[in-house]
């Protein structure tokens, strides 16, 4: 796999995305198809993280944003939610040391205040420990929803206005984007969803304004490093126009 990463690096060079988002969907179906409880699908899904993070980091992708738990996922049965939070605890307890050694910088997207205390403490500790790292920026969206994020941003801006720190006329697109949970990160270039569904499910709606979308049929636990590399090749072929026109001579 290492040699494949080198090959893709040589091949794609400057056409790699700076910021990749992934909606990691399909864990439940992966388990159900094997006659296993859904929680085991989530565990298998967690085991894919190491490879995808490693490939992203080795390729020099600047930021990777992973959708781990949405604001709507609280609707699931309590035993599934509990199993997911158990896995998050395990992940942030066991993996942070290795991520830190690889200079990965962790940041949470979403509302951490509503999380169980132990999970909140674990994710805050992971952020703090890795805050000064200069490698891949790994963003984990936990209790994240784009609409809730927009509400937090609007509240923060309104608060600054009330305090007299800004006037409404000075609020521009850059100020709005800076107040989102992803403030300061590079533009989202590529958004991948595994599991075959073709929807965004409240993930990074504003950030995805000009992202390239790739929908992959593979269920998340089956999303191999090789499939990820082929998705990146697919992205590199895309013709991004941002509302403008292509360079002369191109269609
Ligand atoms: C995605 O897998 C993981 C989370 C939403 C936490 P799902 O659990 O949604 O898997 P499917 O879509 O039911 O197969
Ligand atoms: C999106 O998947 C959320 C995550 C992957 C964390 P869902 O399975 O919750 O999305 P829907 O319900 O199919 O839209
Ligand atoms: Mg799903």
The residue whose CA has the least distance to atom 11 of ligand 2 is 201
Q: What is the mean pLDDT of residues 213-217?
A: 98
Q: Is 31 helix (H, G, I), strand (E, B) or coil?
A: helix
Write down the domain spans for the chain.
16-145+188-236
Q: Averaged over 117-141, what is the pLDDT?
A: 98
The alpha carbon of 176 and the centre of ligand 1 are apart by a number of angstroms equal to 30
Residue 115 has what pLDDT?
96
The per-residue pLDDT for range 34-57, each reduced to its tens digit, is 999 999 999 999 999 999 999 999
| DSSP characters over 101-164 | HTT-EEEEES-GGGS-HHHHHHHHHHHHHHTT--S-EEEEEEEE-HHHHHHHHHHHHHHHHHTT
Q: What is the pLDDT of residue 5?
A: 83
141 Cα to the center of ligand 2, angstroms: 12
Work out which ligand 1 atom sits closest to the CA atom of 219.
14
Q: Which has the closest alpha carbon to 61: 177, 180, 183, 186? A: 186
The Cα–Cα gap between 94 and 197 comes to 31
Say which CATH superfamily domain 16-145+188-236 falls into: Decaprenyl diphosphate synthase-like (3.40.1180.10)
In short, whether 69's Cβ falls inside 6 Å of ligand 1 is yes
pLDDT band, very low/low/confident/very high, at 1 (cuts 50, 70, 90): low
Residues 6+ apart with CB under 8 A from 85: 115, 116, 119
């Amino acid at each position: 796999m290492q040699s494949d990463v080198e090959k893709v690096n040589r091949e794609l060079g400057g056409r790699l995305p700076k910021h990749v988002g992934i909606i990691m969907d399909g864990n439940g179906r992966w388990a159900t198809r094997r006659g296993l409880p859904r929680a085991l699908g989530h565990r298998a899904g967690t085991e894919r993280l190491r490879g995808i993070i490693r490939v992203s980091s080795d390729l020099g992708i600047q930021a990777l944003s992973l959708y781990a738990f949405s604001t709507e996922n609280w609707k699931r049965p309590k035993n599934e939610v509990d199993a997911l939070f158990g896995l998050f605890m395990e992940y942030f307890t066991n993996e942070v040391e290795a991520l830190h050694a690889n200079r990965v910088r962790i940041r949470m997207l979403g509302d951490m205040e509503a999380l169980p205390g132990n999970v909140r403490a674990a994710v805050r500790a992971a952020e703090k420990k890795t805050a000064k790292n200069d490698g891949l920026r790994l963003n984990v969206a936990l209790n994240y929803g784009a609409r809730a994020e927009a509400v937090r941003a609007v509240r923060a801006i309104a608060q600054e206005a009330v305090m007299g720190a800004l006037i409404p006329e000075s609020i521009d697109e850059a100020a709005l984007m800076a107040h989102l949970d992803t403030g300061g990160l590079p533009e989202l270039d590529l958004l991948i969803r595994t599991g075959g569904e073709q929807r965004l499910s409240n993930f990074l709606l504003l950030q995805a304004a000009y992202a390239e979308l790739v929908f992959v049929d593979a269920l998340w636990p089956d999303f191999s490093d090789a499939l990820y590399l082929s998705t990146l090749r697919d992205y590199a072929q895309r013709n991004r126009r941002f509302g403008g026109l292509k360079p002369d001579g191109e269609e």
